[in-house]
Amino acid sequence: MSIRQASLENSSVTQHYGSQIEFTAQVITDPNLTSTGKYSFSARLLHFEIDKEMYALRVPVRIISQQKVEFLPGQTVRATARVIQTKESRVAAMLLVDKGFEVITTPSRWASVLGKIRTGLRTHSGAGDAGALIPGMVLGDTSKQSAQFNDQMKRAGLTHLVAVSGANFAIVSSFVLWCMQFLFRRNNYRIIATAIALSCFIALVRPSPSVLRAAAMAAVLLSAQATKRKTDSLPALGFAIAVVVLGDPWQSRDAGFALSVLATAGLLLFAPVIENHLPTHKKLAGALAPPIAAIVFCSPILVALSGYLSPMSIVANLLAAPFVAPITIIGFIAALVSPFAPAITTLLIFIIRVPAGFIVAIAHWSSGFPVLTIHNGTIGFVIITILVALLWLFKKSWRRSTAILMVVILSLTWIQRWPGGDWQIANCDVGQGDSMVINLHNGQGIVIDVGPDPIAENKCLRNLGISKVPLLILSHFHADHVGGLAGLLQSRNVGQVWISNNLEPLLESTHSLTLLRNSKVVTVQKGLVSQIAGIQFEILWPENVTKNFQSMPGEGSQSNNSSIAMLVTTADWSIFTAGDLEPPAQHEILGSVRKVDIYKVCHHGSKYQDQELMKALSAQIAVISVGAKNSYGHPAAETIASLTRLGTQVVRTDIDGAVAITAKEHHLRVRKSKGSIRLFYWS
C-alpha cells in the first residue's frame, strides 16, 4: 500500500493542482449521478497537456462532469478540466470538467453487450420503489433509488440486498451449477462452467473493489458447502482476505471489506451455534441463525459508521429472505435476454415485481420501528465489540447471557433516551442548516426551517413523533433552510406556511412552493401578531419591502437580511429566532426585542453578530445549529465567547447533536442526543 500510495502522490498530475489541463483518459466505471446533480466516474489518466508540455502516465483519477455523460468502461475520452486535490485515497486527483467530452474510441462489442444488458434491466424494471429495487438486487444498479427509499432500506437493515454481495454470487453460482447438470455429466466440467459464469457475472456487475471482495467471500462459502469440509472454511477465509488485500491494498482500510469479512465469519462460526441453541423448530432456527450471526459480527463496524443498530433488521431479513433468490435468478435471466427479447424481459419483470413489492413493503414497515442508537465512532465500536466478545465467550450459556445483555441495553436505553419525556422545543441535528420544532402535543408540531437534508429532517421529526405540521415557517429560501422540505412532507400534512417577502434564490423558492402547493402560503412581515394553541408569534422582521443596506458585513446577502425574525412566547418559555439575519438587520430590530429564555443564534453562530442584540436578549440558553467540521468556520469563537460572558449556556448541534428543551415556569432543562455520557438511546 505504501508503494502504491507513494506512486499516486508523486504522479506528475499532482504537481498541477488548481491548473487547467487537457487530458485523455480511459473510463473505468459507469458514470453515476451524484447528490449534487453532477456525474462522477473513475478513469485511468493516460496523458495530459499543460502549457504545451505533454505528460504521459497511467494513474487512476476521479472525473466529475457538470453535464450528463453516458460512457461505458473501456472507452477513451478527451476533455479540458481543472485539477483538484482529493481525499479519495485510490486516485491521484480529481478532474472537474465543465464542458463536454470528445469520445476517442467507441466501446468494445463485449462492453456494448454488457451495457445493453444493464440498461435493458433498468429500463424494463418499471417505476416506483419496486422497480428501483430490482436492478439493485440483480446487478447492484441503484441509480433509480430515491434518497428516502435508501434511508428506509438502511434503517430496516436491508441495504445489503441492493449491493452486489457474496449472497448474489452464491445464488447465481448455485443456479448455474444446477443448470450445468443437464449439460455435463462430470462434476469437474460443471465447476469449470460455473467459474466461467461467475467471471461473466463479475464483468456484468462491474469488477469494482466491492464486487471482487464479494466474489472472494462467496467463493469461501461455496467452497465450504461444496467440499462439506467446514474445518477448512476459516483457512479459506484467511486466504481470501490475503488475496483481496494483496490485489487491492486499499481494501484493508475499507469498511465494506471489514463488513464482508465479518459477515462471512459470522455465517461460518456463529450461525451454527445460534441454530443449535435457539429453542424453536429446526427449520425456523436455520432461517433465523444466518441474519442474527451476520448482524452480531458486523455490529461493531455498523455502529462505528452509522451510530445505530436496528433490532427489527433481523425480522426484516427473515421476512425478505424467501423473495431474494427468485428475484435474483429471474431478474438475472430477464437481464440476459433484454437486448434481443424485450417482451420476455417485460413478462419476467412483471412476475418478480410482486415479490419486489413485498420487500419494499417490509422495508417501509420495519423502518418505522425504533432503532437502538449508540455513540458512533471509536466509542461505539469499542462498546459493541466488548458486548459481542462477551456474547461469544459465554455462548455455552446462550439464554442467560443474552437475557442479561438485553436487560443492560434496554436499561441504558430507557435512561438515556432522546428526546425523553415531555419536551417543548427541539432543535434537530440536520448538519450545516437550521430546523427547530415546537411541540403542540398529540403528534403535532410547529416547524421553523427544515435544514438541507430530507433524510435528516424526516428522521428528526420521526424521532420527535411529529406526524402533522399545522404551521411551517421558512425563514428564507437558502438551501440549508429549505432543502429538507421533501423529508418533512413524507407522510405529513402541512396546514399553513409562512414565508419571507424575498423569494431569492428563485430556484429553491420555486421548488419549495411547488412542493407546498396543497398548503396555504402566507407572506409575513413586521407587525404581524398571531396566536396558535396558546403560543404567541410576533414578527419583528422583514419590513413590507426588501431593505437595502449601505454596509453589509458578513455574507452580505439580501436573502439573509430578509429572514423572518420573531419572538415566540408562552407562559413557560420564550424564544427569539431570526434565520440568517446579519448585523445591519439585527440592529434594526434592536428596539423591538426583549429578554428571552432561548436564543436560536443567527446564521449558525457566525462571527457577524450584533453585540447589542445579544445583550438585549440575555438568553438562558443559546442554540447554534451547525454542521460538524463545516468549511465556513461556524460557530465563531468570538460569538461563543460573547454569549458565555452574558451568562448564556451554549448548545451546538455539531457537538451536542439534536437538542430537546423542557421548560416549566421559565426553568429550562436541556437533553442532548450526543455527549460524553450519552451512549445509547432509541430513535
The domains located in the chain, with CATH, are 2-107 (2.40.50.140), 425-547+555-674 (3.60.15.10)
Q: What is the mean pLDDT of residues 62-73?
A: 88
User: For residues 628 and 238, what is the distance between their CA atoms, to the nearest angstrom?
Assistant: 38
Predicted local distance difference test score (pLDDT) of residue 284: 67
Best CA proximity match to 639, nearest among 610, 664, 616: 610
Q: Which residues are CB-neighbours of 80 under 8 A, at least 6 positions away? A: 20, 21, 22, 23, 97, 98, 99
Which of 149 and 284 is assigned the larger pLDDT? 149
Crossing angle of helices 233-247/209-227, nearest 10°? 160
The pLDDT-based confidence of 535 (bands split at 50, 70, 90) is: very high
Cβ neighbours of 437 (radius 10 Å): 24
C-alpha cell read off for 566: 420573531
Which of 14-23, 286-295, 303-312 ranks highest by mean pLDDT?
14-23
The pLDDT-based confidence of 677 (bands split at 50, 70, 90) is: very low
Report pLDDT digits (tens) over 38-58: 888 889 999 999 888 888 888
Cβ neighbours of 26 (radius 10 Å): 17
Tell me the torsion sign for CA atoms 492, 497, 499, 504: positive
Report pLDDT digits (tens) over 582-596: 888 888 898 889 999
- Per-chain mean pLDDT for the chain: 82
Percent of the chain at pLDDT > 90 equals 25
Question: What are the CA-CA distances from residue 197 to residues 167, 179, 190, 202, 203 (Å)?
Answer: 15, 11, 10, 9, 10
Which of 226 and 29 is assigned the larger pLDDT? 29
Predicted local distance difference test score (pLDDT) of residue 190: 77
Report pLDDT digits (tens) over 167-196: 667 777 777 878 888 888 777 777 778 778
Tell me the torsion sign for CA atoms 604, 605, 611, 612: positive
Best CA proximity match to 21, nearest among 30, 12, 29: 12
Cβ neighbours of 243 (radius 10 Å): 13
User: For residues 29 and 118, what is the distance between their CA atoms, to the nearest angstrom?
Assistant: 13
Q: What is the mean pLDDT of residues 288-296?
A: 74
Which of 478 and 222 is assigned the larger pLDDT? 478
The pLDDT-based confidence of 671 (bands split at 50, 70, 90) is: confident
The pLDDT-based confidence of 394 (bands split at 50, 70, 90) is: low
- Is the model's pLDDT at 371 over the cut of 90? no
- Asked if 76 contacts 24 with a C-beta cutoff of 8 angstroms, the reply is yes
Predicted local distance difference test score (pLDDT) of residue 682: 39
- Asked if 270 contacts 288 with a C-beta cutoff of 8 angstroms, the reply is no
The pTM of the full predicted model, rounded to 2 decimals, is 0.65
Predicted local distance difference test score (pLDDT) of residue 404: 65
C-alpha cell read off for 33: 449521478
Q: What is the mean pLDDT of residues 20-24?
A: 92
User: For residues 81 and 190, what is the distance between their CA atoms, to the nearest angstrom?
Assistant: 49
Where would I find the H helices in 558-601? 583-588
The pLDDT-based confidence of 156 (bands split at 50, 70, 90) is: confident
Question: What are the CA-CA distances from residue 651 to residues 604, 619, 671 (Å)?
Answer: 12, 12, 10
Which of 120-134, 213-227, 246-260, 667-681 ranks highest by mean pLDDT?
120-134
Q: Count how many residues are written for the chain.
A: 683
- Is the model's pLDDT at 564 over the cut of 90? yes
- Asked if 299 contacts 309 with a C-beta cutoff of 8 angstroms, the reply is yes
Q: What is the mean pLDDT of residues 120-130?
A: 88
Pairing of strands 598-600, 621-624: parallel
- Is the model's pLDDT at 559 over the cut of 90? no
Burial of 398 (0-12, 13-18, 19+ CB in 10 A): middle
The pLDDT-based confidence of 166 (bands split at 50, 70, 90) is: low
Q: Which residues are CB-neighbours of 414 under 8 A, at least 6 positions away? A: none
The pLDDT-based confidence of 676 (bands split at 50, 70, 90) is: very low
Q: What is the mean pLDDT of residues 4-23?
A: 87
Q: What is the mean pLDDT of residues 393-405?
A: 63
Amino acid making up residue 600: K
The pLDDT-based confidence of 680 (bands split at 50, 70, 90) is: very low
Pairing of strands 520-523, 493-499: parallel
- Does the bond joining 370 to the residue before it have cis omega, within 30 degrees of 0? no
Which of 181-190, 283-292, 412-421, 565-574 ranks highest by mean pLDDT?
565-574
- Is the model's pLDDT at 445 over the cut of 60? yes
- Is the model's pLDDT at 411 over the cut of 70? no
Q: What is the mean pLDDT of residues 626-644?
A: 88
Amino acid making up residue 19: S
Chain CA centroid to CA 541, Å: 36
User: For residues 528 and 621, what is the distance between their CA atoms, to the nearest angstrom?
Assistant: 26
